[in-house]
């Protein structure tokens, strides 16, 4: 039975991606609610039906009082016995069915699916963002917003149908019931409702901003805490336990203060609400007694009015809290929207086509990129890498090497100039097709917190087990992989490697990464310090593998250890974002310039580290 309700809406229904999603709250919620429109209408109708039944029961209890006051028991039961039995049957059978339908629509058909839909679409939207988007924020804060926004959106929807729609219908029904008994009985209710709306408005104007501030503070705290956990090796290495606690405490204290300010609003609301409800009870019951004393109202009417006033008094706290929760949830959604609705600027060009790679020529034309700043990055670079040519890229940190690679992968759009692969501007082809033809081994060889098999197959998900193992063997990784076992007892290729691969050594991570790139077998290969984490013996073995992998490919290799690129077809030397020298190893040594000075100063094969500066991210 539950599955019928749970399958009324598919939370993963196809929808068009938006580069500029709605950035205002109500258009945002309206956009995400489209698959639920019909279901929302039915649920709202059922909330009204349930409220009408509640009002009808109060009215009928008043009628029962009048019936029982109208004669001897035998006469009353003879005249009204069947009516009372039918009322009991309705209360025991039809009422639970209607109530159950109302609850099932909300709890089973809407809430799980709506939360899943928001979470799925939000995650899908954020994954489309550029690398720069993630480099400019805490991963923990982004994840926190993605996780808390769907829950809060679900809370808002729940309150709309469980409390707001029900209470409005209940209020209209109460006014109708009191008016039908005696129009004067509705006067206290109208006055009370006016004061209630004033209190509600006062509360809501403050709850939304306060809730948004609290949500933002919580996200910031999560970001700081996750940042410490993610970099726990650095925390322990530099003995910064106390500093990290102080860093987190600052955010936790800000969260406490913002939440305390939010709670002050609710405390004031509760005190004022109790006073207001006291007025409702005294006014309605007192007025009913006065009308009874004048002979203008029966005992049943007074009983119904009393029951209604007590019921409304009990409900108002719940309604106020529900409405407050509604606006608080909207505040959390608004905070999450700051991440979810961030415009996606790095997108495929209109009518972009897949990259048609035929030879593998790379041409940079007057390429400049400074990350929106006046300095840093690269400046007016023109370079042609011939098909199948292998170039080494060297220079101090901050020279622009990594910036050039990020632009080649189109992690950023160049501020000036362009990059062409086989004559095709990479800004005008589909991003996925561009990256599918480039294999990259990074110095920071982080892995997914999944099995070794999953990590290697990331390079070619359709590869066979034999092909995957062959790639691991070529990367000198097969032997150590067979010895792996994680805390859950999974062994070998099934062992999980931990977040960012922390359960493996740096050399092991780099070899798994290399196996992944070998399996991908892309025609363009980018190596960013590909052997930096390996010991000399393994590096010598890997170098032979790399030379084999490079065969027939266009290769760009970044290295501080110059011995690893001395055999390249050409070496390009960068400094301060520009190309200052290029040629073969021997030609550059004969030139006696910057490369020759690097070579002369090497210790263990590295460029002078003490002269390095930080490169822009």
Query: Residue 607: what pLDDT?
Result: 53
256, 366: one domain:
no
Is 357 within the bounds of a domain?
no
Supply the CATH number for residue 177's domain. Answer: 1.20.1560.10
Supply the CATH number for residue 369's domain. Answer: 3.40.50.300
Asked if 393 contacts 556 with a C-beta cutoff of 8 angstroms, the reply is yes
Query: Residue 604: what pLDDT?
Result: 44
Query: Residue 536: what pLDDT?
Result: 65
Is 5 within the bounds of a domain?
no
588, 470: one domain:
yes
Is 11 within the bounds of a domain?
no
Q: Provide the phi-psi class of 402: left if phi over 0, else alpha when psi is between -120 and 50, else beta.
A: alpha
74, 153: one domain:
yes
Q: Which residues pair with 2 in a beta bridge?
A: none
pLDDT one-digit tens code per residue, 310-330: 777 777 767 767 777 777 787
Report the number of distinct structural domains present in the chain: 2
Give the mean model confidence (pLDDT) for residues 28-38: 89
Report the mean per-residue pLDDT for the chain: 83
Residue 455 has pLDDT above 50, yes or no: yes
Query: Residue 530: what pLDDT?
Result: 67
Is 317 within the bounds of a domain?
yes
Least confident of 27-41, 82-96, 170-184, 447-461: 170-184
Domain termination residue (choose one: 308, 340, 372): 340
382, 305: one domain:
no
Give the mean model confidence (pLDDT) for residues 503-529: 87
Is 527 within the bounds of a domain?
yes
Query: Residue 603: what pLDDT?
Result: 47
201, 84: one domain:
yes
HSE of 451, CA atoms in CB hemisphere, 13 A: 13
Residue 609 has pLDDT above 50, yes or no: no
407, 486: one domain:
yes
Query: Residue 35: what pLDDT?
Result: 92
Residue 307 has pLDDT above 80, yes or no: no
pLDDT bin (cut points 50, 70, 90) of residue 219 is confident
pLDDT bin (cut points 50, 70, 90) of residue 17 is confident
Is 565 within the bounds of a domain?
yes
Give the mean model confidence (pLDDT) for residues 125-153: 82
Domain termination residue (choose one: 340, 375, 408): 340
270, 375: one domain:
no
Least confident of 55-59, 484-488, 594-598, 613-617: 613-617
3-state DSSP of 137-166? CCHHHHHHHHHHHHHHHHHHHHHHHHHHHH
pLDDT bin (cut points 50, 70, 90) of residue 614 is very low
279, 370: one domain:
no
Give the mean model confidence (pLDDT) for residues 457-464: 91
Q: Which residue has the higher pLDDT, 175 or 617?
A: 175
529, 584: one domain:
yes
pLDDT bin (cut points 50, 70, 90) of residue 217 is confident
406, 292: one domain:
no
pLDDT one-digit tens code per residue, 242-276: 888 898 899 999 999 998 988 888 788 878 888 88
Residue 613 has pLDDT above 60, yes or no: no
Helices (H), 342-486: 401-408, 431-436, 452-457, 465-474, 478-482
- What is the spatial distance between Cα 159 and Cα 153, in angstroms, rounded to a whole number? 10
Helices (H), 388-535: 401-408, 431-436, 452-457, 465-474, 478-482, 506-520
pLDDT one-digit tens code per residue, 276-297: 878 878 887 787 788 788 877 7
Residue 239 has pLDDT above 70, yes or no: yes
Q: Provide the phi-psi class of 382: left if phi over 0, else alpha when psi is between -120 and 50, else beta.
A: beta
- What is the spatial distance between Cα 439 and Cα 342, in angstroms, rounded to a whole number? 29
110, 42: one domain:
yes
CA distances from 466 to 440, 448, 453, 470, 612 (A): 22, 22, 11, 6, 43
Is 355 within the bounds of a domain?
no
Domain termination residue (choose one: 280, 308, 340): 340
Is 4 within the bounds of a domain?
no
507, 473: one domain:
yes
Give the mean model confidence (pLDDT) for residues 348-358: 91
| Domain that includes residue 149, residue range | 16-340
């Amino acid at each position: 039975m539950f599955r019928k309700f749970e399958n009324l809406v598919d939370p993963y229904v196809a929808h068009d991606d938006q580069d500029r999603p709605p950035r205002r709250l109500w258009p945002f919620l309206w956009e995400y609610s489209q698959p639920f429109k019909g279901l929302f209408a039915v649920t709202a109708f059922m909330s009204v039906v349930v409220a009408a039944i509640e009002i009808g029961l109060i009215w009928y209890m008043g009628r029962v009082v009048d019936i029982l006051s109208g004669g001897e028991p035998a006469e009353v039961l003879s005249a009204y016995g069947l009516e009372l039995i039918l009322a009991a049957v309705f209360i025991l059978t039809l009422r639970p069915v209607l109530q159950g339908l109302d609850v099932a629509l909300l709890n089973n058909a809407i809430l799980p699916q709506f939360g899943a839909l928001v979470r799925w679409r939000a995650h899908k939207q954020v994954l489309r963002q550029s690398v720069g988007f993630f480099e400019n924020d805490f991963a923990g804060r982004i994840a926190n917003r993605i996780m808390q926004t769907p829950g809060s959106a679900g809370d808002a929807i729940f309150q709309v149908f469980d409390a707001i729609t029900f209470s409005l219908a209940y209020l209209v029904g109460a006014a109708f019931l009191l008016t039908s008994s005696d129009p004067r009985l509705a006067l206290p209710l109208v006055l009370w409702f006016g004061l209630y709306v004033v209190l509600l408005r006062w509360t809501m104007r403050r709850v939304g901003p306060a809730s948004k501030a609290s949500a933002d503070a919580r996200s910031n705290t999560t970001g700081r805490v996750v940042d410490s956990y993610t970099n726990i090796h650095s925390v322990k290495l530099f003995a910064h336990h106390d500093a990290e606690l102080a860093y987190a405490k600052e955010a936790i204290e800000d969260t406490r203060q913002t939440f305390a300010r939010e709670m002050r609003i609710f405390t004031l609301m509760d005190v004022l609400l109790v006073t207001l409800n006291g007025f409702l009870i005294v006014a309605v019951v007192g007025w009913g007694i006065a009308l009874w004393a004048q002979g203008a109202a029966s005992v049943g009417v007074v009983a119904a009015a009393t029951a209604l006033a007590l019921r409304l008094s009990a409900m108002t706290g719940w309604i106020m809290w529900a409405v407050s929760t509604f606006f608080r949830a909207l505040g959390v959604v608004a905070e999450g929207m700051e991440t979810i609705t961030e415009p996606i600027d790095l997108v495929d060009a209109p009518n972009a086509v897949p990259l048609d790679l035929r030879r593998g020529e790379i041409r940079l034309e007057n390429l400049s990129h400074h990350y929106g700043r006046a300095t840093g990055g690269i400046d007016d670079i023109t370079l042609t890498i011939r098909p199948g040519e292998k170039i080494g890229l060297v220079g101090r940190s901050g020279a622009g090497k990594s910036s050039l690679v990020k632009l080649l992968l189109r992690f950023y759009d160049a501020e000036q100039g362009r990059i062409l692969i086989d004559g095709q501007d990479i800004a005008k082809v589909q991003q996925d097709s561009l990256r599918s033809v480039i294999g990259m081994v990074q110095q920071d060889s982080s892995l997914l917190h999944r099995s070794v098999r999953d990590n290697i197959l990331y390079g070619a998900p359709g590869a066979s087990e034999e092909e995957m193992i062959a790639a691991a063997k070529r990367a000198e990784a097969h032997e150590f992989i067979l010895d792996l076992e994680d805390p859950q007892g999974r062994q070998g290729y099934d062992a999980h490697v931990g977040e960012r691969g922390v359960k493996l050594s740096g050399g092991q991570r780099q070899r798994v990464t290399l196996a992944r790139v070998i399996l991908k077998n892309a025609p363009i290969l980018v190596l960013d310090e590909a052997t930096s984490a390996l010991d000399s013996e393994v590096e010598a073995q890997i170098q032979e593998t790399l030379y084999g992998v490079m065969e027939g490919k266009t290769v760009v290799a970044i290295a501080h250890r110059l011995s690893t690129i001395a055999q390249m077809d050409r070496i390009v030397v960068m400094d301060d974002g520009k190309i200052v020298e290029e040629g073969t190893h021997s030609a550059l040594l004969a030139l006696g310039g910057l490369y020759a000075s690097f070579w002369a100063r090497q210790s263990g094969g590295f460029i002078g580290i003490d002269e390095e500066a930080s490169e822009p991210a």
